[in-house]
Structure 1
Amino acid sequence: MISFTYELPGNAMCMLRSDYDMNTLISFACSSSLEHVNVSVHNGPFIPQIEDESGSQENCSTIKWSSGPQDGADILSKYCHHEPKILLTTSWAQAIREVGQSFEGGVNEFKRALKMYSMEVGFEYDLVKNTKEQVITTCKRRDTNNCLWHVYATLQKINGYFYIRTLNNIHTCSSDVRTTKNSRMSSELVASLIRDKVRDKPLTRPTDVVYDFKVNYGLDITYHHAWWGVERAKNELFGHQSLSFDLLRWYKEETEKTNLGSIIEIHYDSNTRRFKRVFVSFYACIYRFWYCRPMLFLDGTFLKGRYKGNLLTATAKDGDQGNYTRT
């Protein structure tokens, strides 16, 4: 019987008592998805000898593992050698690199790259000048900490690209700390990141986006940003929903005008005026059904009696004589 505790951020501690062995405890510590988890084992006769830096060994009555940056030695790596998870935001650190870097999407692409870069590196910035032709950006702590980081980009009117003209990519304010929440997060940025996912899965839910950003990007976004991000992506890919219903009315009028005899009916709720369904039947289909010959269908009728099996029935439909069934 052993006793171990794991400490969570905020000085919250949970103690468990069980008959776990050493391998089970190591697996628990290695597979834990929590950040900065400290696991301590007390009074365990199974505790192995730990070799220190000098090469000597000593018996420990308490062992402390750390899954995050903590003070003191981290001995979890002696037992668990899993590789850390690589987030999708890793490449964002190269979004702003050097003088002469170009952005084909113009000012919008440049400012989107600037957001991603600041979120990954971990700092806030101010837009000193923000126009369609020029953008001057400085560190938010330029005045308080005399930080000299800045970037200056302009528009090249010949091709419509945005180019970085000057760049000081060194922070002297020591403010580069990455956090899971950032004030620069917006629904526009969310839409640009989930566009391909929405194209493959049009029924993507905002809750799926929140979970995806938490797991794969390491960022906490609000439901509001996720919902509007999904709506923006859908509008960019499939068009605005309200405009599609206007096009449906236009389609009905044009079809009945150019294809005489066709029947198109749009059903909606008379109280809420919300769309329910649409029925479309072209005149060519209606005309051809008038001259259809009698058709023979072969189907099976399941017997519900004592004996298992099914009974084949032949059904024919005649336009003049109606339906008749032969068994």
Structure 2
Amino acid sequence: MVVCNSLPSDLGDHDTEVNKVLRLGSNEDIITGVGQRFRGGRHEFRLKLLLYCIKNGYKVKFIKNDKKRVTVECMKKEQDGCKWRIHASPKHGLHNFFVIKKMGPDHSCGGVIDVKNPPMTSKLVKFLMLEHVRDNPLIKAKEIINHFRMEYGVLLNYYFAWSGKELAIKEIHGGDTLSYHQLVWFAETLMKTNPGSRVVLESDPSTHKFERIFIAFEACISGFKYCRPMVALDGTFLKGKFKGCLLSATAKNGNQ
């Protein structure tokens, strides 16, 4: 358990209490020592190491960081003579299975939590916020920043909050490009599961690039004859990666 004796005044009364604890679980949940395995390979090891550093307030630097090895030393090695060091590499040449080969000795620098400049990355934010984004896809970057301030006692950069959320959404729903590749499957499945529906998918004949899609469900087609003989059109611009325009047609029931 790590204690921070001083926090910036702009964190509010709740977070300026003496002995603010960074709640990230015990050391055993993050880095256990030599022999610990990481099935997610180098990327999982790096994430767990960053969590370990945030929890204990350590600053580290990567000496080696490639597919074959990751070696990290304490940032205060020259300043305070801290000899802490950790080294991990693949097990028996398997690049997707990292193992801690060397670790120690213990830190002698006495880590202090740097609430303004935590060792944060977008992938780490995604790792910590994935379930929150799954439960609330409309969560804002400011809410994520506030969550990190209240839950972990650190001030998260706006960019990391925003990009971390984007990575979480991509992992949950898939990327935009993949969604366009699935349009043909979507159109065929819709026709099979909704007989009588109308789907028109158009693409550029030379590049096969998506141009437009039209969808009318059978229930809407059949129900239109009971509506007033008037169609209202509305549209909105799509502000995602590929832009575009979404048009919709609606009608009123005859008894309205």
Name the TM tier (shorter chain).
Answer: 0.5 to 0.7
Tell whether 2:145 aligns with 1:210. yes
Structure 2, unpaired ranges of 5+: 1-6, 202-210, 227-253
What SS does the corresponding residue of 1:33 show, helix, strand or coil? Answer: helix
How far does residue 226 in structure 1 lie from its aligned partner after superposition? 0.7
The aligned length equals 209
How far does residue 165 in structure 1 lie from its aligned partner after superposition? 1.2
From the CA coordinates, give the structure whose radius of gyration is larger. Answer: 1
Check 1:228–1:34 CA distance in 2 against 1; reply closer, same or farther (3 A cut): closer
For residues 232 and 9 of structure 1, the distance between their equivalents in structure 2, rounded to whole angstroms, comes to: 30
Tell whether 2:115 aligns with 1:134. no
Letter in 2 for 1:33: H
For residues 80 and 23 of structure 2, the distance between their equivalents in structure 1, rounded to whole angstroms, comes to: 31
How far does residue 133 in structure 1 lie from its aligned partner after superposition? 2.1
* Partner of residue 81, structure 2: 146
Structure with the largest fraction of strand: 1
Structure with more relative contact order (C-alpha pairs < 8 Å, separation 6 or more): 2
How far does the alpha carbon of each residue in 1:178-214 deviate from its partner, in whole angstroms, 9 at most, with x for none?
A: 1213352111110011111111222222121111111
What SS does the corresponding residue of 1:138 show, helix, strand or coil? Answer: strand
* Partner of residue 163, structure 1: 99
Q: Name the TM-score, length of structure 2 as normaliser.
A: 0.66
Which of these residues, 179, 184, 195, is aligned with residue 114 of structure 2? 179
Contact 2:22 2:55 in 1 (8 A): no
* Partner of residue 33, structure 1: 14
For residues 281 and 151 of structure 1, the distance between their equivalents in structure 2, rounded to whole angstroms, comes to: 59
How far does the alpha carbon of each residue in 1:167-187 deviate from its partner, in whole angstroms, 9 at most, with x for none?
A: 114123x25111213352111
Instruction: Map residues 105-116 of structure 1 onto 2, 5 A cutoff.
Output: 105-116=40-51
What SS does the corresponding residue of 2:31 show, helix, strand or coil? Answer: coil
How far does residue 260 in structure 1 lie from its aligned partner after superposition? 8.9
For residues 109 and 247 of structure 1, the distance between their equivalents in structure 2, rounded to whole angstroms, comes to: 30
Q: Name the TM-score, length of structure 1 as normaliser.
A: 0.53
Letter in 1 for 2:129: I
How far does residue 140 in structure 1 lie from its aligned partner after superposition? 1.6
Contact 1:122 1:179 in 2 (8 A): yes
Structure 1, unpaired ranges of 5+: 1-7, 11-31, 36-66, 70-84, 267-274, 295-322
Which of these residues, 212, 215, 227, is aligned with residue 279 of structure 1? 215
Letter in 1 for 2:102: T
Check 1:256–1:135 CA distance in 2 against 1; reply closer, same or farther (3 A cut): same
* Partner of residue 18, structure 2: 68
For residues 183 and 214 of structure 1, the distance between their equivalents in structure 2, rounded to whole angstroms, comes to: 11
Letter in 2 for 1:104: R
For residues 9 and 162 of structure 1, the distance between their equivalents in structure 2, rounded to whole angstroms, comes to: 38
How far does residue 87 in structure 1 lie from its aligned partner after superposition? 4.4
Structure with the largest fraction of helix: 2
For residues 140 and 214 of structure 2, the distance between their equivalents in structure 1, rounded to whole angstroms, comes to: 26
How far does the alpha carbon of each residue in 1:270-326 deviate from its partner, in whole angstroms, 9 at most, with x for none?
A: xxxxx99963324xx689x59x9x9xxxxxxxxxxxxxxxxxxxxxxxxxxxx89xx
* Partner of residue 132, structure 2: 197
